[in-house]
Homo-oligomer: A and B are copies of this chain.
Amino acid sequence: MLRVSKLADYAVVVLVKLAADTDCLDCAVQTSPSLACSTGVPEPTVAKVLKALSVAGLVLSQRGARGGYRLQRKLEDISIAEVIAAIDGPIALTACVDGASGCDVRGLCAVHGRWDLVNDAIRNALTGITLADMREAGTPVFLRTLTPAE
Please list the residues of chain A having a beta carbon within 8 angstroms of any beta carbon in chain B. 1-6, 9, 12-13, 16-17, 20, 38-41, 80-81, 84, 88-96, 99, 101-102, 104-118, 120-129, 133-138, 143-144, 146-150
Residue of B nearest to A102 (CB): B150
A17-B110 contact in complex given A4-B93, A94-B9, C-beta closer than 8 Å: yes
A13-B109 contact in complex given A4-B93, A114-B134, A116-B146, C-beta closer than 8 Å: yes
B89 touches A112 (CB 8 A): no
Residues of B within 8 A of A110 (CB): 13, 16-17, 20, 39, 135, 138
With the chains together, A126 CA to B117 CA distance in Å?
Answer: 10
A1 touches B92 (CB 8 A): yes
**Minimum C-beta distance from A141 to chain B (A):** 9
A99 touches B1 (CB 8 A): no
A108-B16 contact in complex given A2-B88, A114-B138, A126-B122, C-beta closer than 8 Å: no
Contact among B9, B84, B149 with A123 in the assembled complex (CB-CB below 8 Å): B149
**Minimum C-beta distance from A43 to chain B (A):** 13
With the chains together, A113 CA to B124 CA distance in Å?
Answer: 21
- 22 of the cross-chain contacts (CB-CB < 8 Å) are A1-B5, A1-B89, A1-B92, A3-B92, A9-B115, A12-B111, A39-B105, A39-B109, A40-B107, A101-B150, A111-B134, A111-B135, A112-B137, A114-B137, A116-B146, A117-B144, A118-B134, A120-B146, A121-B129, A122-B126, A124-B149, A125-B125
